């Protein structure tokens, strides 16, 4: 199929348009998405590892100071298209947007960045649905990038929490997805001197639990 999308919380989210493809929003995406309204109002928000942009698009309902970042140019392009469709013109022609979206000025920022490497701003709230599974033989580099957080699964989260210390404003907040498969308590304990944290919500599957974790910087 040339186009694939999901609908959630009154948003239409394309995750495949022709050769552009990113992580399809799933249960973990929706778990985070459903709680953004509790935290985003009036804040400066970053949707990091944005993929389709689903989290930043939800945050934009409650604040206009939203930025999107991803390591993938494909994902950023899809995020731009999704922003345009949801907030500029719901009847836009996808073929036109596919060809021209990078020429259109949008009222939000987009960063091509491996975590914070190309980001020189600070934020009040950072949203992250990271790759969190241990590394195995996934099919293709795209799928590996979407789901694998490193050899043990938590390496990307580890880097993110370390870098976030200097990228959050005073008492800034994080909403992040973690999996029981990759020992979330180890990472949370490692950074407990920098963040207070609590579990906001979770989903249970027969093989794992997916947690939505709220962290608040202690200073």
CA atoms within 13 A on the CB side of 215: 30
Residue ranges of domains in the chain: 27-71+109-217
CATH T-level topology, domain 27-71+109-217:
Rossmann fold (3.40.50)
Q: How many CB atoms lie within 10 A of CB 91?
A: 5
pLDDT attached to residue 153 = 74
Sign of the Cα pseudo-torsion (73, 78, 79, 83, in order)? positive
pTM: 0.94
**82 φ, ψ to 5°?**
-65, -35
Average pLDDT over residues 119-130: 98
Q: What is the pLDDT of residues 63-104, one digit of tens each?
A: 999 999 999 999 999 999 999 999 999 999 999 999 999 999
CA distance 101 to 33: 25
Tokens standing for 132?
A: 């969190």
Average pLDDT over residues 18-46: 98
Q: What is the pLDDT of residues 141-193, one digit of tens each?
A: 665 666 666 676 789 999 999 999 999 999 999 999 999 999 999 999 999 99
pLDDT attached to residue 81 = 99
Q: Which of 181, 129, 180, 138 is nearest to 157 (CA)?
A: 129
Beta bridge partners of 11: 8
């Amino acid at each position: 199929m040339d186009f694939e999308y999901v609908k959630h919380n009154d948003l239409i989210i394309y995750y495949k348009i022709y050769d552009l493809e990113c992580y399809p929003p799933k249960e973990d995406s929706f778990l985070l998405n459903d709680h953004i309204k509790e935290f985003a109002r009036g804040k400066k928000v970053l949707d990091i590892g944005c993929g389709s942009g689903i989290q930043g698009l939800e945050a934009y309902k409650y604040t206009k100071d939203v930025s999107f970042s991803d390591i993938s140019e494909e994902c950023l392009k899809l995020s731009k298209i999704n922003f345009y469709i949801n907030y500029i013109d719901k009847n836009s022609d996808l073929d036109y947007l596919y060809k021209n979206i990078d020429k259109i000025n949008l009222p939000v920022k987009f960063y091509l960045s491996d975590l914070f490497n190309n980001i020189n701003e600070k934020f009040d709230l950072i949203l992250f649905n990271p790759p969190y599974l241990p590394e195995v033989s996934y099919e293709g580099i795209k799928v590996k990038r979407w789901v694998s957080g490193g050899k043990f699964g938590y390496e990307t989260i580890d880097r993110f929490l370390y870098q976030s210390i200097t990228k959050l404003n005073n008492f800034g907040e994080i909403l992040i997805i973690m999996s029981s498969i990759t020992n979330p308590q180890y990472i949370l304990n490692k950074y407990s001197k920098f963040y207070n944290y609590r579990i906001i919500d979770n989903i249970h599957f027969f093989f794992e639990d997916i947690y939505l974790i709220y962290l608040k910087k202690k200073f």
